[in-house]
Amino acid sequence: MQLAGKGYVPDVFLAITTLWMRGPEAALPLLQRAFERRDGYLVILKSSPWFDPMRDHPGYRDLVRRMNFPY
């Protein structure tokens, strides 16, 4: 978060850090913001093991559904 105050840090990376430090509820708003900003790093959302702790979270599932990832 300190780096984000000094320059651009993608919301997806902030979400990953937040997820591991504070949990899915805290990370979800950052992922929502990344989605609204069309952050290109969201392509890792469905496949990256970094997001494993939130795979069962309803907000995460809704976000993945809205992204229309191919199967």
- Residue 5's pLDDT is 62
Query: Which string of b and e fits 2-16 if b means at least 16 CB within 10 Å?
Result: eeeeeeeebbbbbbb
CB atoms within 10 A of CB 46: 15
| Number of domains within the chain | 1
The DSSP output letter for 42 is G
Residues 60 and 24: beta-carbon distance below 8 Å: yes
Tell whether the model's pLDDT for residue 6 goes beyond 90.
no
pLDDT top residue among 59 and 2:
59
15-65 confidence digits (pLDDT tens): 999 999 999 999 999 999 999 999 999 999 999 999 999 999 999 999 999
Domain that residue 12 falls in? 2-67
In the prediction, which pLDDT does 3 show? Answer: 56
The pLDDT value recorded for residue 14 is 93
